[in-house]
Structure 1
Amino acid sequence: MPIVVDIDVMLSRRGMAVGVLAERVGITPANLAVLKNGRARAVRFTTLAALCEALDCQVGDLLRWEPEGVPADQAPADSRSSSTP
């Protein structure tokens, strides 16, 4: 799927554990893992908002689009996440 989920990147930048984020967002660690690993078929805007609030970030820090069939290191520069904390 061309949508890449970078929740683990933001967790690392914030020094936050998955369990702590799940608790702050109000979802189970299992559901957060499904989202974090890119296996979710959908995500509610309220969940995205809660993730952004808990991680002090923008939606674009958590989700990005990459063209299908193009390795991440060869994707156009404007399609890769370039935000800083």
Structure 2
Amino acid sequence: MLSTVTSKGQITIPKEIRSLLNIKPNDRVDFVIEGGRAILVPVKTLRDLRGTVAPREGSSFAGERETAKSAVAQRVREEME
């Protein structure tokens, strides 16, 4: 698929590509350069990932969050020793 670069350096991503990569208005994309090619990569945020992982059975969001905070704190303590 071809797209034209405007005088401002902008391009339109063809609808078929946007649909395939699930790119919506105001989404961010990254261009990765590999061997003389530019690869378009959608950038996902934490908000995009919200709700994709269910808490363990018998636990709550607050409990999972506390467990994660404790693990990070422990790693920081170990790195500082």
| TM-score normalised per structure 2 | 0.22
Whose strand fraction is larger, Structure 1's or Structure 2's? Answer: 2
Larger % of helix: which? 1
Q: Which has the higher contact order (CA 8 A, sep 6+)?
A: 1
Under a length normalisation based on structure 1, what TM-score does the superposition of the two structures give?
0.22
- Please identify the structure whose Cα radius of gyration is greater: 2
